Amino acid sequence: MSVDQQTIAKYQQTLEELRAVTLSIQQYRGRLLEIERTLKALEQSQGGFVYRSMGNILIQTPREEVMKELNSEKELLQLRLEEFTKREKLLRERLASLEKQLRSALPTSSGAG
């Protein structure tokens, strides 16, 4: 019985970790989409400067500098998203394995119907 309890605990822990990873993936994808839209708008804009928000004020900043920073952040987000996607896959595989273990540990009833 204790082995089953340990398996259930691992299953629940893995499920919670998967939920957290999935949430992080959604957040990273949202931020990535926001950056891509901003970069597209900056590429289409005229002029050498844009205004960026710094706390409660707007600061005039060279457009190329902002684009460089956004591209750098985009690359970092893509790497993190790739890592989280791999982690999500591994967690799903672990969850499937634990689920299989739990199902095999359940008593089979021949009179079910």
The pLDDT confidence band at residue 39, using thresholds 50, 70 and 90, is very high
Please name each of the domains of the chain with its CATH number. 2-105 (1.10.287.370)
Distances (CA, A) of 70 to 27, 46, 67: 16, 18, 5
pLDDT at 113 over 70: no
pLDDT at 38 over 60: yes
Q: What is the pLDDT of residues 64-103, one digit of tens each?
A: 999 999 999 999 999 999 999 999 999 999 999 999 988 8
d(CA 17, CA 93): 13
Residue written as token pair 């996607």: 85
pLDDT at 107 over 90: no
Q: What percent of the chain has pLDDT over 90?
A: 76
pLDDT at 108 over 80: no
Query: In whole angstroms, how large is the CA radius of gyration of the chain?
Result: 23
Q: What is the pLDDT of residue 27?
A: 97
